Amino acid sequence: MGRLLLLSNGHGEDLSGALLGQALQCEGHAVDALPLVGKGQPYRDAGIALIGGTQEFSTGGMGYTSLRGRLTELLQGQVAYLLLRLLRLLRIAGRYDQVVVIGDVIPVMAAWLCRRPVTTYLVAYSSHYEGKLRLPWPCAECLRSPRFQAVFSRDQLSADDLSSQLRKPVMFLGNPFMDPILRDDRRLPQARRRMGLLPGSRRPELEQNLVLLLRVVEQLPAPLLSSGELQLELALVSSLSDTALSTLINPIGWSLQKADNGPTTLLFRNAHRVQIHRGGFGAVLHSSDLLLCMAGTAAEQSVGLARPVLQLVGRGPQFTAGFAEAQRRLLGPTVFCADGEVGAPATLERTAALALELLERSHLDQQLRRRCHDEALNRLGKAGGGSRMAASISQLLQPSE
């Protein structure tokens, strides 16, 4: 069995890398990880050893989306940190039989420089954005190198497009980040209508996203919520404690209500209730008719479960208008968004109205439901993507006869 190094550059990429790493461990390989951005917490959670100390920055690796973000990264030292991580890679690469890239041009370039055999999962790129994928220089040149022994894409359209561009086979085997969600059999109690709220996981963007989502909830009809006709579920990361949550929501008229041995809820004017779920992300996705979303990977997982997604554009650094528009191109026509200025009352009202419309359509519109199922398969693929990738990598590590 081989010794493998996972190289990734972002929170979503770390999640996919950790899941792929676990599948590779099941194949009998020794696996380490070198995250280029952030703390690499998904690797820690998966029990995969990290190379060197890690550091998290306020941009969450998304500084490239704006001039302000780039300047922030410079001031916080993220560029210098990245260079140090790359130097560490060059020093240790010789210990590994294969470098496994999860991400985009930065880890692709880094893997090419370390002169080791490489497999690549291009989770950050898709031909759905433009119809034809324009890889940034020098990504395509690196991928054409014989050193890059296998390339995996995130959807079939990209696999077909890149196979032609690179003049080598590019495979679509599914997406590892879908595997735990598709395997998760937890469900919430049945409800007539249910909407999940997904504010994302990056802080401090998470806090400002959550405030905007609650502003949309305030626009929903109180009788619909107080009667139980519509139930609202908030998937929240554990890093935002109840104390920090109360500090955030009390100034905007919401309160935190804890029941003895029961759920914790957010309450607004004794009618608007939102139930909090920490550690129950999969149950929220599976049990919701619609996801009101300000997240990246979570939106992809929602589409992969054949659920319609309603976006609410935020102020970033990740979930900006540009990011949301690109996400709609990536994930297709079952992702919706109301027009309007970010955070404006009219935009929040239109979002709430569209949410009510989509909640009804999710039950009554058979064409929408069929479209959701078709897009789930075409854009994200079937369960087992991580295992199929791991088996393919194992084949490359077998000695030639």
Tens-place pLDDT, residues 209-250: 999 999 999 999 999 999 999 999 999 988 899 999 999 999
Per-residue pLDDT, 259: 79
| Long-range contacts, stretch 138-141, CB < 8 angstroms, 24+ apart | 138/105, 138/109, 139/104, 139/105, 139/108, 139/109, 140/165, 140/166
Across residues 330-346, what is the average pLDDT?
97
- Decide: 192 and 286 in contact? Cβ < 8 Å: no
Give the Cα separation of 203 and 288 in Å (integer).
24
- Decide: 170 and 155 in contact? Cβ < 8 Å: no
Per-residue pLDDT, 275: 96
Per-residue pLDDT, 116: 96
The CA-based dihedral angle spanning residues 158, 160, 161, 166, taken in that order and rounded to the nearest 10 degrees: 110
Averaged confidence pLDDT in the chain = 91
Cβ neighbors of 117 (< 8 A, separation 6 or more) are 97, 98, 99, 147, 149, 396
CA distance between the termini of the chain: 16
* Residue % of the chain over a pLDDT of 70: 93
Per-residue pLDDT, 82: 85
Give the Cα separation of 356 and 125 in Å (integer).
33
**Is a pLDDT exceeding 60 seen at residue 401?**
no
Taking only the tens place, the pLDDT of each residue in 108-134 is: 999 999 999 999 999 999 999 999 999
Give the Cα separation of 2 and 330 in Å (integer).
34
Per-residue pLDDT, 64: 45
Give the Cα separation of 370 and 99 in Å (integer).
39
Across residues 196-205, what is the average pLDDT?
91
Per-residue pLDDT, 204: 86
Q: What is the 3-state secondary structure (H, E, C) of the chain?
A: CCEEEEEECCHHHHHHHHHHHHHHHHCCCEEEEEECCECCHHHHHCCCEECCCCECCCCCCCHHHCHHHHHHHHHHCHHHHHHHHHHHHHHHHHHCCEEEEECCHHHHHHHHHCCCCEEEEECCCCCCCCCCCCCCCCHHHHHHCCCEEEEEECCHHHHHHHHHHHCCCEECCCCHHHHHHHHCCCCCCCCCEEEEEECCCCCCHHHHHHHHHHHHHHCCCHHHHHCCCEEEEEECCCCCCHHHHHHHHHHHCCEEEECCCCCEEEEECCCEEEEEECCCHHHHHHHCCEEEECCCHHHHHHHHCCCCEEECCCCCCCCCHHHHHHHHHHHCCCEEECCCCCCCHHHHHHHHHHHHHHHHHHHHCHHHHHHHHHHHHHHHCCCCHHHHHHHHHHHHHCCCC
Across residues 325-342, what is the average pLDDT?
97
**Is a pLDDT exceeding 60 seen at residue 274?**
yes
- Amino acid identity, residue 284? V
pLDDT level of residue 80 (50, 70, 90 thresholds)? confident
Give the Cα separation of 235 and 283 in Å (integer).
9
Per-residue pLDDT, 8: 95
Give the Cα separation of 81 and 88 in Å (integer).
11
Across residues 286-315, what is the average pLDDT?
96
Taking only the tens place, the pLDDT of each residue in 61-73 is: 444 444 454 445 4
Q: How many CB atoms lie within 10 A of CB 242?
A: 13
Q: What is the pTM of this model?
A: 0.87
Across residues 292-303, what is the average pLDDT?
95
Per-residue pLDDT, 192: 95
Sheet holding 264-268, edge to edge: 255-258, 264-268, 272-277, 230-235, 193-198, 290-293, 309-311, 335-337
Structure tokens at 206: 């998470």
Give the Cα separation of 97 and 117 in Å (integer).
7
Per-residue pLDDT, 56: 61
pLDDT level of residue 55 (50, 70, 90 thresholds)? low
**Is a pLDDT exceeding 80 seen at residue 10?**
yes
* Residue % of the chain over a pLDDT of 90: 81
Give the Cα separation of 255 and 100 in Å (integer).
46
Domains observed in the chain: 3-174+384-397 (3.40.50.2000), 184-380 (3.40.50.2000)
Give the Cα separation of 322 and 254 in Å (integer).
30
**Is a pLDDT exceeding 80 seen at residue 373?**
yes
Taking only the tens place, the pLDDT of each residue in 139-151 is: 999 999 999 999 9
Across residues 310-328, what is the average pLDDT?
94
